[in-house]
Every structure is written in C-alpha cells, then in structure tokens.
Structure 1
Amino acid sequence: MASREEMSTSFGREAARYESGRPDYPADAVAWLLEPVAAPGRRPRVADVGAGTGKLTRVLRELEAEVVAVDPDADMLAELRRRVRGTPAFVGTAERMPLSDASVDAVVGGQAWHWVDPVAGAVEAGRVLREGGVLGLVWNVRDERVAWVHDLTGIMHGSSAEQLIAEGGPTPHPPFEAFETRVWEWHRPLTREAFIDMAASRSYVITAEETARRRILDEVGALFDERAENGIVELPYRTEAFRAVLRR
C-alpha cells in the first residue's frame, strides 16, 4: 500500500478523470462557508487551498469571490488553469501558503483538510486571514446509509476523508475555537464513464498495483451495470461543511 504522502500527491496523474468523476459543490453550501465575510457590494478575497482542478474555485467565482488557488500538485493546477481561466494559481500547501499576512477574508478547502496537518494548517490559516475571517472546510461524501453505496465503498476501499467525517469531522485548533457545521443531501446523476472516473480518481486506486486497480474498476463497472437506469446512476451524496471565524 502506498504511503500517505504518496497518496496525497497522486491526483495529478488522473487530473482529467478527477475533473470528470468528482462532484461539484452545492452553491448553497459554499455560500454558507462565506456567510461570515459576505456583505452587499463586497467581494471577499478567498484562498482555495488544495484547489485541485478547480471544483470549489468555480463555485467561489460564481459567488463573485476574488479567488487565489493553492495546491501542492502542479498537474492539478494546470487543469485548473485550463478550466477556470483568470484565477491566480500557485503551488503551495495549507501548512505553507504563498500569501501575505492578513491578506484574505477566507481560507477554504474542498476535499482537502484530511491531507493537512491540522495544527500547522490552523496556524497558517490564522496567519493569512484578516480579523473576522473564516476557515471553511467542505467535503462531498457518498451517503453510505444506502446499502449499495456502502458496497461501492467496499469495492473502492474507504478513504481518510470518509473516516474523518465518520468520526465527527475536523477538530478545531488555535487560533480557531470551534466549528459550526451544516449538511446538505442531494443526488448526482452519473454516466458509466463518469462513475468509473469517480473511482479511478481516488488516491487508493491511483496508487494501487495495476492488477488490483483493474479489478477494482471492473467491479465498479459491474455495480454500475446492476444499478443503472437508462444509462444513468443517481449517486446519493452528503455535503458536510464546517466553518470557524478568527477571533484574535
């Protein structure tokens, strides 16, 4: 099995499949993350950390935020630049952002904080945030209360993100005192290709030995064929969002 570090930086190998297979974030959830720094006629400046291919970046832009994207993987940022043109994008991490002190209103992470040292990440977020700024974290997780979705996870293997959410979500660390949280439930329609891309873009699958990888994707495809109606599977998701406001 690959190391945690190797898995955390593996996504660029499958950047296009990540973009195809991974869900977007509900606009209501992202707006809720930014609510503490939102004001009429004002565009909050937001650092999207672990921005990947720009899934969260796009929603932030649609909400009229001024966004700077940060990710440790240059290949993922290359995909982001193609898809979210005009967004400044830099190689960096949540523990070390290429940003000035007190320069942003929000630090957000979509599908990312489980790869972060939460103590160091919180300190760095506190450094780059202005007073009253918000640390906003969000995950799209499949709803495993549904039996066949639970079976799907068994095929693909669970992830550290799913484990974190199952254990109650991220723990706040100084300078943040507590997270507020909200959940949105919804369904994503997927074609067979996108369904397999969803599995193929998971770090466990990307870093698996080729025979194991092929077996996993074959089983995922077989499950799709069992569940599909008119060439589509409706995959249930829960979007779990957490926000903490900086009070010095």
Structure 2
Amino acid sequence: MDQDERLLHASSFGAAAVEYAEHRPDYAQAAVRWALEPAPGPRVLDLGAGTGKLTATLVALGAEVIAVEPDPAMLAELRRSLPAARALPGSAEVIPLPDASVDAVLAGNAMHWFDMAVAGPEIARVLAPGGVLAGLWNVMDDRVEWVAGLARVGGSAAVGPRDTPAGWRAETADMHLPKAGEAARFGSPEQVEFPHGQLRTADSLVATLATRAGVLVMPDREREAALDRIRAFLASEPESARGEFTLPMLTGVLRVRRL
C-alpha cells in the first residue's frame, strides 16, 4: 500500500464512527495484561485510540489511561462512551504529551497506520525508561474451517492480511519498530497470541466487517455486493445461520521494551 492509499484507508473510519463503536470487538484482557507486564508504572497512552475499544479495557484493568486519536468523529464517540477518560486530539506522529510521561504506549488495531519513521522517535520521546510499546490486533482464527471459508468469501478488503493468525505474524514481524541507534534503544520484539471470542449474529458480523477500511473505501455497489456475499455465506453455514454464535478470534500482541 503506497502512502496515498494508506492515508485514504486510515482516514476512512470517521464516517463510520458510530458503527465502529457499536460493532468492533474489544481486546482479550489477558493480552492487554501481557502487553503491560514489563511496564514500570500504571501510566498508559492508548495511541490511535479510535472509539475507545482498548481504552475501555485499560480502564477496567486499573490503568491510568490517556487516549489520543486524530479523527474528530472517532474521538467524539470515545468521549461519549467513556466520559471520565482523558482523551486528546493528536496522532502517533505528533503526540501531545511531555517527554517520559507514560510507562506504556499501546495501540489497538492502529499501529499499521502509523508512519513509524516519524512516530517511532515520538513514541520513544514520551516513554519513560523501561517503558513498553505494544500493538494489539484482533484476528479471526482461520484454523476453524468455517472461519477460513468466511475469509475466502469476504476477500482481502473485509478480511485482510493481518486478520488471520499466520498473516498477522508475517505482517507484524516486518513492522518497523524503534531500533537501537534511533531516538532510544529498544529490546527485541515479541509476538504472542491470546484466545478471544466475540458473541455475534450474522447481521452483527456483517456490520463489523462493514467497518473495515478496505470495505469503507469501496464504491457503494462493490461494497454492497461484497457484503451480500458474506451474508449468503453466513446463512449457509450451520455455525452462523441460527441466531447467536461465538466468532473464534485471537488477540495478537507485538511488544517491545524501551531499555
């Protein structure tokens, strides 16, 4: 994805902020705990916080959270759903916080949108020594047969390369993280996956996939055709055709520590 396409996709979510808040999944608490495990204190920056899916989990775990989000519509939804949370406009490339002011920087389904050449030094700047940088991604467990079928039918716009376990590992293994010799020294990155699941109906799963950037930027006719294919598939599968079901998922975590 070139820079212009990346910016188009990254800026697409505001138009669906209400739907994003309603339908996007939360994060496995075990994954968030593991991400924070080496952090030297409770101060956490949720960077690219969106509508607050990860923020809410961090609050539930007792962290002192600051949420930073560039899109005004997404930020408004975050403030509406979590009025007590400190939520600021800003981006990974321009973080509105002082030096060494947080013990961890977490990003939920957001780090792949960052320009890490710029964001890396900014993240290093706001992290205290010993602090943690972690990206979290919710992925569909395509080791389950019907989920693999959904991934095939949905196509790469609805189920992209980071949205299955093998794809997530490959994509994030190559992600540029701050390295030795940059603004600060970081240790070696670690990747771990945690079981997760979301209660869904066929309609709510279609609504979830409709908030994917690749789907949001489609022409209307193409988007409706893709969603119709997914609806037909879900109606044909015994696991998803009869009311509520649990969508098998994993929360993958990429973690690196500032030395």
Return the offset for 1:177.
2.9
Give TM-score scaled by structure 2 length: 0.87
Return the offset for 1:21.
2.4
- Between 1:221-230 and 1:135-144, the stretch displaced more is 221-230
SS of aligned partner of 1:101: coil
Return the offset for 1:98.
0.8
Q: Is 2:43–2:65's contact at 8 Å kept on the other side of the alignment?
A: yes
Match of 1:165 among 165, 169, 192: 169
Q: What is the aligned partner in structure 1 of residue 92 from structure 2?
A: 94
What are the superposed Cα offsets for residues 61-90 of structure 1, whole Å, 9 maximum, x if unpaired?
011111111111110111111111111212
Q: What is the aligned partner in structure 1 of residue 242 from structure 2?
A: 230
Structure 1 residues not aligned, in runs of 5+ = none
What are the superposed Cα offsets for residues 32-65 of structure 1, whole Å, 9 maximum, x if unpaired?
1111126xxxx61111001011000001001111
Q: What is the aligned partner in structure 2 of residue 127 from structure 1?
A: 125
CA RMSD of aligned residues (A): 2.0
- Between 1:159-168 and 1:186-195, the stretch displaced more is 159-168
Identity, % of aligned positions = 40
Give TM-score scaled by structure 1 length: 0.90
SS of aligned partner of 2:45: strand
Residues 1:15 and 2:17 are matched in the alignment: yes
| Partner Cα separation in structure 1 for residue 150 and residue 95 of structure 2 | 35
Q: What is the aligned partner in structure 2 of residue 117 from structure 1?
A: 115
| Partner Cα separation in structure 1 for residue 213 and residue 172 of structure 2 | 22
Amino acid at match of 1:198: T
Match of 1:218 among 228, 236, 257: 228
Listed as ranges, the matches of 1:19-34 within 5 Å are 19-34=21-36
Residues 1:140 and 2:138 are matched in the alignment: yes
Change (3 A) 1:125 1:168: closer
SS of aligned partner of 2:236: helix
Q: Is 2:27–2:54's contact at 8 Å kept on the other side of the alignment?
A: yes
Q: Is 1:224–1:233's contact at 8 Å kept on the other side of the alignment?
A: no
Match of 1:208 among 201, 211, 218: 218
Aligned length: 243
SS of aligned partner of 1:14: helix
Residues 1:240 and 2:252 are matched in the alignment: yes
- Between 1:95-104 and 1:13-22, the stretch displaced more is 13-22
| Partner Cα separation in structure 1 for residue 116 and residue 51 of structure 2 | 22
